[in-house]
Structure 1
Amino acid sequence: MRRLWPLTVRGTGALVLAIGCFVLANEIGLGELVYFGTLMLAVLAASIASLYLTRRSDTVSRSLTPNAAAVGRDARVTVRVGVRTALPTAPGTWKDALPRALDGSAEGVFPALGSGLRGSERVVDLSYSVTGMSRGIHPIGPLAVRSTDPFGLATRRSVFGERTRVTVAPAVVDLPAVNNLAGEAGGMLHTTTSQLGQGADNLIARPYMPGDSMRRIHWRATAHRDALMVRQEEQESTPEATVVLDRGVLRWSGEAMQAPGADPGFELAVSAAASVITRLAHDGYAIEVIDSDGAELAERIDGGDMTEVELVVTGFAKLTARRDDHLAQLPRVFSGVMTGPVVVITGRFDETDATALAPIVHHSTLPVLLATSPSAGSLDRASDLGWRVGRIGEEADIASAWAGAVDRGTANVFR
């Protein structure tokens, strides 16, 4: 609420004292009280004028470290305020307006400034920490600075309207690696061999180049030429994985369509998708991120490219549910294709859905199904059909569900 009264408690007391002097001077006929009351009013007027009649221009810019906040993690906000004032100013206080999606103490002491009539704009750097509470893109600001005159009689609250939009990405949970399932899941970076002719003697060798895998060294050619040689026909390929985030609104509440952060179940699913993408990319998989109808939610991520992973996770800040429901048609996306891990993340899930998704199991080396609101018996049914399943919710965190699904391959249902 905007404060209209320009005086502090001390200034209000001085005004009451001045009025009292005028009243007493009239009652008891003591002229000196009139001079004293007039002096008090003059001091009050000068105090207010020092705050309101000096022209000052202010610019505000903000930066975030890291560039995007994340749910449950801290980030540092730096506020740079450019000030030009005609008269020196006393110290004051500042407060930056934070949305409910960010938690932190965005306030402090605003330093005193000297006169800037002959100098350039003075720059004041302020900083504070925030913690992401809700995914989305949220505005920080405006910045309010409250200053007082040197006598502490008057106060002024200046509001600088510049706002900064801050991205809050979903939480990324550290998940166990799938290294122990390397053979079954397509492995880490592996090689496939294409040979011309019969036998190793017919392979064409070329000189070793930096970056070539040591597994491609042709030892016989190396011994013959006394220099490292590699098999030219051997081609390294990166195992592929697919992460499916089902955004159909029938799987979630209606709030999931309105804005990020509105549906707790959908937030868990987005966090699970971001965590799985991070884990698989770290393990060397090239990842396709799609919706339940096969539409891409992000560009393909190369194995080990954590910079691209960070960009994709940040882009998830804007994801919401959509009106259509295509989960039953998901097997068509994998028709005629053999791939590595396929991780499906959904909300409401029943035995009919488990039956509809059964064909995907035969096209994946590691089919994983994570659901936030499965019906009774639906995950058992999916497990019987070959899925590695897990339930994520208030009593089952993402890391436990993932570990139970990947390590044991059996139903990981928490009740």
Structure 2
Amino acid sequence: MPTPAGRALSSLTVRGRCVVAAGGTLLLVGALLGERPLVQLAVFALALPLLSAVAVLRQRFRISARRTVTPPRVPRGGSAEVSLELTNTDTRTGGLWVLTEQVPAGLGASPGFVVERLAPGGRTALTYRVHGSRRGRHVLGPLRLRLVDPFGLVERSAVGADSAPLLVVPRVRPLGAGGPAGVQSGGGDGTRRTLAVHGEDDVSVREYRQGDDLRKVHWRATARTGDLMVRLEERPWRAQGTLLVDTRARAHLIAPRVRADRAGGVVPGPAGDDSPPADSLEWVVEAAASIGAELARRGAVLRAVTDTGELLPPSGRGQLTTEDLLARLAATGPSRLPGLAGGVEQLCRAAGDGPVVCLLGAVGPDDVVELIRGRSGPTTDLAVLTDIESWAAPAPGRGRRLSDASRGALTAQREDAAALLRAAGWRVAVARADTTVGQVWAELGAPRPAGTPGRQGAPA
């Protein structure tokens, strides 16, 4: 157990230690020179910090703090106001209190306050703002209290046990009126849509595969081609929409976890965006939040899968609401899995015959082969391939850079993967750092050029 003298010395501030050092020096010089005034001054300099330490260590205090966070959930880049109500629950008047609120680095700097001589039972309200520059679940507090003497020579610290949560969710960006599958109304009537809407001769078809429903055989196309052909149907988004979010660390350029004030001005992004995604993973998560919210608004039964498993609502099963999706994506970080096999398996199990939207990082042909095999049903699926090289522009504070050879290899792999997906009937778009989610969504809904292959080579 430390002695009172040891506690007094450990509570000295830098100023107090300097005064003690100066007093010791004066005492030594005065004793060597025989100068009594120097010795007297040295004794005073040494006694002052000691008396201040005793006075501070003898102080007793009892305080309570209550926080109110408004709002308790903010989108990334948004701000929240924190109201801190401090109450002196002791029977004595408080001294000079220096308070510091402990705030995570992703929310800004820790604010400080000074409260002096708070009366017994008295209350004071302290407010500050936090900026949600980093997505995730954050904890505000606890409050750190420092008791200091009037000369600033001694301080005593105590940390409370109170705290309050703040959830920073991905931003939901506007997607506009367009989009795939013609879902431009705010819900629609839920009727089924086929890929061709005028005339029996325009129906999209593909070759028959074992297991296909014989009721879907298109006899006119079968007679014309000589091979058994089946009709292609596109499921309505109102039935179900499933997201696959690629969170593999190896498939993204993950920016270092620096504070927003240090990263300002070095993150590429669309024009007019004052808080662009710091890396390709953040873009993918933000796109999943935006697309998922739009599908849920239009009446789809929403489900979401990552390469590590399905994102489930609090009930543990069933469809996700928009709030559920945002809350789950808020805590989604990079995974260490090498491949998408687990995510594809979960996707096929969750989606069934409904359409899917795959938001992928850096992928090549080998990564999408299992995806194509697992999604060989009658629906038209969507894929967004991320151009991670666009986030690798050399800039101070960025974590990973790419050589010209690496850029060329990634581009070639992405183009090969996109070609495979398009040949299998997928709609594919490429997302860059300067591309908005709305632009990618509109590209996915744009009409296919003439001659573009549909599902398994069928004309679109």
Q: For each residue in 1:79-134, what CA deviation from the matched residue of structure 2 results, as whole angstroms up to 9, or x when unmatched? A: 3444445654455543333333x142322332212353xxx3x4443332222333
Whichever structure has more strand as a proportion of its residues is 1
Give the drift of 1:408.
5.5
Cα deviation for residue 395 of structure 1 reads 4.4
The 5 Å alignment of 1:231-310 reads 239-247=238-246, 249=248, 252=251, 264-291=279-306, 295=310, 297-298=312-313, 300=318, 308-310=321-323
1:160 is displaced (CA, Å) by 0.9
Which residue in the other structure is 1:198 paired with?
A: none
Question: Quick one: structure 1 residues 244 and 8, their matched pair in 2 at CA, closer, same or farther if it must change by over 3 Å?
Answer: closer
Give, in whole Å, the separation in 1 of the partners of 2:447 and 2:90: 68
Q: Which amino acid aligns with 1:371?
A: L
Could you tell me how far 1:75 is from its partner in structure 2? 2.4
- The answer to which of 352-361 and 133-142 deviates more is 352-361
Q: Deviations over 1:55-80 (max 9, x none)?
A: 11344454432213443222233334
1:386 corresponds to 2:425: yes
Question: Would you say the 8 A contact 1:81–1:124 is kept in 2?
Answer: yes
Quote the Cα distance in structure 2 between the aligned partners of 1:243 and 1:284.
13
Amino acid at match of 2:52: S
Question: Cα distance 1:394–1:60, how it changes in 2: closer, same or farther (>3 A)?
Answer: same
Task: Tell me the secondary structure at the aligned position of residue 47 of structure 1.
Answer: helix
Contact 1:76 1:127 in 2 (8 A): yes
Match of 1:56, SS?
Answer: coil
Aligned 8 A contact 1:89 1:112 in 2: yes
Q: Given that residues 342 and 368 in structure 1 are in contact (C-alpha distance below 8 angstroms), is that contact kept between their aligned partners in structure 2?
A: yes
Amino acid of the structure 2 residue aligned with 1:346: L
SS class of match (2:439): helix
Corresponding residue for residue 52 of structure 2: 47
Q: CA RMSD in A?
A: 4.6
After superposition, residues 359-374 of structure 1 pair within 5 angstroms as 360=375, 363-364=378-379, 367-372=381-386
3-state SS of the aligned residue for 1:77?
A: strand
Aligned pairs for 1:3-402 (under 5 A) are 4-6=10-12, 9=15, 13=19, 16=22, 20=26, 27=34, 44-84=49-89, 88-89=93-94, 91-100=96-105, 102-116=106-120, 120=121, 122-150=122-150, 152-162=151-161, 164=163, 166-177=165-176, 179-180=177-178, 184-185=182-183, 187-191=185-189, 239-247=238-246, 249=248, 252=251, 264-291=279-306, 295=310, 297-298=312-313, 300=318, 308-320=321-333, 321=335, 323=337, 325-326=341-342, 329=345, 330=347, 337=353, 339=354, 342-351=356-365, 354=368, 357-358=371-372, 360=375, 363-364=378-379, 367-372=381-386, 375-402=414-441
2:147–2:156 CA contact under 8 A, matched in 1: yes
Q: 1:159 & 1:318 partners in 2: Cα distance? A: 31
Number of corresponding residues: 343
| 2-structure distance, mates of 1:283, 1:192 | 10
Pair 334,300 (structure 1): closer, same or farther in 2 beyond 3 Å: closer
Structure 1 residue 53 displacement after superposition: 0.3
Displacement after TM superposition at 1:358 (Å): 4.9
- Residues of 1 paired with 2:25 and 2:372: CA distance? 87
C-alpha distance in structure 2 between counterparts of 1:352 and 1:388, whole Å: 18
Quote the Cα distance in structure 2 between the aligned partners of 1:83 and 1:115.
7
- Structure 1 distance, partners of 2:184, 2:304, is 18
Cα offset for 1:354?
4.9
Structure 1 gap segments, 5+ residues each: 194-236, 257-262, 303-307
Instruction: Supply the distance in 2 between the matched residues of 1:334 and 1:293 (Cα, whole angstroms).
Output: 16
Distance between the aligned counterparts of 1:333 and 1:137, measured in 2? 27
**Percentage of identical aligned residues:** 19
Counterpart-to-counterpart distance in 2, 1:124 and 1:114: 8
Label 1:85 to 1:129 Cα distance change in 2 as closer, same or farther (>3 A): same
Cα separation, 2, equivalents of 1:153 and 1:357: 66
Contact 1:188 1:285 (8 Å CA) reproduced: no
1:157/1:76 CA distance change after superposition, 3 Å:
farther
Task: Find the aligned partners of 2:325 and 2:109 in 1 and give their Cα distance.
Answer: 29
Q: Which residue of 2 aligns with 1:209?
A: none
**Over residues 1-40 of structure 1, what are the superposed CA-to-partner deviations in whole Å (9 max), with x where a residue is unaligned?**
x993525638955995698589769935679x85x87777
Rate the CA distance shift 1:242–1:53 in 2: closer, same or farther, 3 A.
same
Instruction: Please state whether the residue corresponding to 1:277 is helix, strand or coil.
Output: helix
Q: Which secondary structure does the structure 2 equivalent of 1:190 belong to?
A: coil
How far has the Cα of 1:389 moved from its partner? 1.9
What TM-score results when the alignment is normalised by the length of structure 2? Answer: 0.58
1:296-344 CA-to-partner distances (Å, cap 9, x unmatched) read: 5335558xxxxx4123312222335374724555556555x3x4x5322
**Closer, same or farther in 2 for the Cα pair 1:265/1:114, shift >3 Å?**
closer
2:325 corresponds to which letter in structure 1?
V
CA gap of 1:282–1:41, structure 2 versus 1, over 3 A, is same
3-state SS of 1:345 partner: strand
- Displacement after TM superposition at 1:375 (Å): 1.8
The code of the aligned residue for 1:154 comes to L
TM-score, structure 1 as length reference: 0.63
Partners of 1:60 and 1:79 within 8 A in 2: yes
